[in-house]
């Protein structure tokens, strides 16, 4: 592949989806879906988005999917099953989305083993932390005393997040950013190999990453809600482009 060809390569970014009851027109069915703004972010950043609906992970299913991906985005959604990190459910914790948990944990495990770039968004950051042995605060208001991070009724809160100097995230977005948040859970004990790359003014962990060359980043906020700022989408797409180019070469 020539340099000119590789610079035009559009990497394929897999994006995990919801699996729950949904209504459209006269239909009220169990469905896989993802809000359009997620894959708009990938498209605008120069990537090709493919949706990855939860499905059985018997055998090599996840590996065969990953064979065809250059990057992985684990998207927002319901709470991770607390059994994953050795806790009983809090009264405010969602009913477990077991099919989605199994699927995303399998995809993430394979992606980390291969060095596929990973971006976790909200729930995705919590999946990343839990998969690496960390734990979660199941109901953040119990810890910080307010509901600013999840106001309810689909109203996002704006948090002032401060990055940690020297992290990948700091190199991407600078010292601080206004983040669109909608989460009632948060990272508690860090997973193995992760470092904190941002906190908000309450001290809540708002981003984690794996140090080093591999692109593995989880943000507790929703970058897809601000498509006028594509820095995180561009970062994962560019990392995926490098992965794809090296794989072809």
Q: Please pick, among 104, 149, 222, 225, the residue that the annotation labels catalytic.
A: 222
First to last CA, the chain: 7
CB of 33 closer than 8 Å to CB of 21: no
Q: Active site includes 224?
A: yes
For the chain, helix (H) and strand (E) counts, in that order, are 8, 13
Q: Which residues contact 191 (CB under 8 A, 6 or more apart)?
A: 128, 129, 130, 131, 132, 133, 134, 208
Q: Please pick, among 122, 137, 184, 209, the residue that the annotation labels catalytic.
A: 122
Q: Please pick, among 104, 209, 224, 225, the residue that the annotation labels catalytic.
A: 224
- Residue for token pair 């405010």: 92
Q: Active site includes 238?
A: no
Burial state string for 81-106 with b = 16 or more CB within 10 A and e = fewer than 16? bbebbeeeebeebbebbeebbbbbbb
Q: Active site includes 139?
A: no
Q: Which residues are catalytic?
A: 122, 222, 224
């Amino acid at each position: 592949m020539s340099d000119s060809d590789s610079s035009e390569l559009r990497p394929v970014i897999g994006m995990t989806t919801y699996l729950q009851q949904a209504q459209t027109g006269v239909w009220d069915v169990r469905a896989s879906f993802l809000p359009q703004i997620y894959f708009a972010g990938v498209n605008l950043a120069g990537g090709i988005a493919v949706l990855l609906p939860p499905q059985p992970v018997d055998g090599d299913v996840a590996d065969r999917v990953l064979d065809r991906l250059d990057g992985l985005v684990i998207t927002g959604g319901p709470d991770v099953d607390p059994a994953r990190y050795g806790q009983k459910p809090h009264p405010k914790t969602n009913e477990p989305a077991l099919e989605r948990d199994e699927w995303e944990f399998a995809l993430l495990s394979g992606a980390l083993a291969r060095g596929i770039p990973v971006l976790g968004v909200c729930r995705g950051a919590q999946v990343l932390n839990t998969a690496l042995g960390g734990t979660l605060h199941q109901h953040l208001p119990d810890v910080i005393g307010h509901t600013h991070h999840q106001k309810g009724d689909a109203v996002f809160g704006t948090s002032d997040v401060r990055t940690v100097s020297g992290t990948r995230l700091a190199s991407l977005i600078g010292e601080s950013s206004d983040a669109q948040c909608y989460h009632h859970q948060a990272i508690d004990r860090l997973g193995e190999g992760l470092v904190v790359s941002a906190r908000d003014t309450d001290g809540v962990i708002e981003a984690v990453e794996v140090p080093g060359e591999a692109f593995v980043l989880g943000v507790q906020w929703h970058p897809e809600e601000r498509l006028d700022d594509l820095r995180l989408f561009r970062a994962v797409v560019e990392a995926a482009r490098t992965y794809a180019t090296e794989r072809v070469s």
